[in-house]
Amino acid sequence: MHKRQNLITFAALFGFSTFFVSCTSQSTPSETFANADQEAAIAEAPPLFLKTPFQVEQNSTVYNSLRQAGLNPAVIHEIVNAANPVHNLSRVRPGTEAWIYHEAHPLKELRKVKFALSKRDRLVIELNDEAQWIPEIYSLPVDIQLVSFSGVVESSLWESASQAGMSPLLIDQLANIFAWEVDFNREVRVHDRWRLTVEQEFIEGEPIGWGRILSAEYENSGRLFSGVLFPLDSENAHYYRPDGGSLRKVFLKSPMKFGRVTSGFQRNRFHPILKVNRPHHGVDYGAPTGTPVHSIGEGKVTYRGWNGGSGNTLVIRHNSVYETTYRHLHGYAGGLRVGSTVSQGQTIGYVGQTGLATGPHLHFELRVNGRVVDPLRVEFPSADPVPQKLLESFQEVASHSLSLLPAWGQGERENLVSFNQTELAAKDSGTQE
Ligand SMILES: [Zn+2]
């Protein structure tokens, strides 16, 4: 929705510049054309503005950069003051690209200054016909191209996906889709295979990043998991199975994204430090000190502090049934207190070696109705499925998104269709197909 609004802003701005130029040429007799030549002259119209690029240099300010670009101090102050209601120019980062626009002719007057606030956002301060500087921030339209990737696991999902050319962020996105079904720390097998279709975003022909994964599949030890993003026009979309069931569970499979199980749940175990037989009522994940630890579900912190041989410990109560405990932490996430609410996947602390521990690891425990159980053996309940009233439109989206998946491959990237924002907006609102 807001993408379409940006497009309109852009069009309005473009329209405004055109209007401005036609006014100027009418008020300047030397610029009027003989009737007969008018069309040809318009076709070969000279550039409307002279555009001079500059950059806000490291260790410099917008003021100094504009001085260097030849603007006089009084004009710079006017521009900075005018911009202030929409953006504080003293906060523009060094390295920011910017442009100055002078009228091409006749007076070569300064008309406009533009800053690239981000890859997408532009700040323009433009002189209107009443000689006032008017600021505006607008977003460039984003073009979307659909790209697909596929691969076969030889050692890890990470390795096969980077081999296919996926960025770390995109690999993370893929792993997150199936985080409830597959524990990528310990359930990945050689010959597992995966495929996906994702939006790649472009501005003015330059790739600026990855958008949403529309559909993905992961085959783990012969079991196939499929995920379809829905609804496409919502900020609050989730991945569903083709039958409309949710891929999400009330709890994540693991409190660690990467890290391996070094010791499982055992009713009896010889303790490596205490040298006695003692049950191991949790799962140990070995990982370097400082590795983030995530809450496996929504909940409230009920304990945060030192707990003898367990070192720094966090306990989270998820509901009247489930409770999780995280031990030997190096530290806690900032701002976390007893009573804080946490969301699923939120970083709550960092792997450490506090208390009685032979190396950095997380000791993780799950209690169901107060009784400690093996978290690797519990089947967690699923989150809500697609609501009944949306099932029909979900099935359309699902069959389309799944048809965009590439053939099972050996680690390839494939470019599919590209479309612009207007078409995308139409697709989102379901007016096409
Ligand atoms: Zn342990």
Is the pLDDT confidence value at 25 over 90? no
* DSSP conformation letters of 326-345: EEEEEEE-TT--TT-EE-TT
Q: How many angstroms does the Cα of residue 103 sit away from the middle of ligand 1?
A: 72
Q: How many angstroms does the Cα of residue 17 sit away from the middle of ligand 1?
A: 67
Is the pLDDT confidence value at 310 over 90? yes
| CA nearest neighbour of 171 among 191, 155, 151 | 151
The environment of the single-atom ion ligand 1, i.e. residues with CB closer than 5 A, is 282, 284, 363
- The answer to whether 10 touches 141, Cβ cutoff 8 Å, is yes
Instruction: Tell me how far apart the alpha carbons of residues 120 and 202 are, in angstroms, rounded to a whole number.
Output: 10
Residue pLDDT, tens place only, 171-228: 999 999 998 888 887 789 999 999 999 999 999 899 999 999 999 999 999 999 999 9
Q: How many angstroms does the Cα of residue 174 sit away from the middle of ligand 1?
A: 29
Residue pLDDT, tens place only, 246-269: 998 889 889 998 778 999 998 776
Instruction: Tell me how far apart the alpha carbons of residues 210 and 197 are, in angstroms, rounded to a whole number.
Output: 11
Instruction: Tell me how far apart the alpha carbons of residues 297 and 382 are, in angstroms, rounded to a whole number.
Output: 12
Higher pLDDT, 410 or 331: 331
Residue 302, pLDDT score: 97
Number of residues written out for the chain: 433
Q: How many angstroms does the Cα of residue 409 sit away from the middle of ligand 1?
A: 40
CA separation (Å) from 383 to 30, 180, 241? 72, 10, 12
Q: How many angstroms does the Cα of residue 329 sit away from the middle of ligand 1?
A: 12
Q: How many angstroms does the Cα of residue 87 sit away from the middle of ligand 1?
A: 52
- The answer to whether 41 touches 33, Cβ cutoff 8 Å, is yes
Three-state secondary-structure class, residue 429: coil
Q: How many angstroms does the Cα of residue 168 sit away from the middle of ligand 1?
A: 30
Q: How many angstroms does the Cα of residue 277 sit away from the middle of ligand 1?
A: 14
| CA nearest neighbour of 230 among 76, 70, 430 | 430
Which neighbouring-strand residues pair with 249? 382
Q: How many angstroms does the Cα of residue 159 sit away from the middle of ligand 1?
A: 28
- The answer to whether 313 touches 362, Cβ cutoff 8 Å, is no
Q: How many angstroms does the Cα of residue 326 sit away from the middle of ligand 1?
A: 10
Helices 2-27, 421-428: axis angle to 10 degrees equals 140
Mean pLDDT, the chain, rounded, equals: 84
Q: How many angstroms does the Cα of residue 342 sit away from the middle of ligand 1?
A: 23
Q: How many angstroms does the Cα of residue 310 sit away from the middle of ligand 1?
A: 9
CA separation (Å) from 66 to 117, 125, 128, 315, 334? 16, 13, 20, 55, 40
Q: How many angstroms does the Cα of residue 189 sit away from the middle of ligand 1?
A: 25
pTM value is 0.66
Region class of 290: left (phi > 0), else alpha (psi between -120 and 50), else beta: left
Residue pLDDT, tens place only, 29-80: 333 333 445 555 555 566 688 899 999 988 888 999 999 988 999 999 999 9
- The answer to whether 230 touches 217, Cβ cutoff 8 Å, is no
Q: How many angstroms does the Cα of residue 369 sit away from the middle of ligand 1?
A: 21
Q: How many angstroms does the Cα of residue 172 sit away from the middle of ligand 1?
A: 27
Instruction: Tell me how far apart the alpha carbons of residues 163 and 209 are, in angstroms, rounded to a whole number.
Output: 18
Q: How many angstroms does the Cα of residue 263 sit away from the middle of ligand 1?
A: 7
Residue 323, pLDDT score: 97
Q: What is the mean pLDDT of residues 324-345?
A: 96
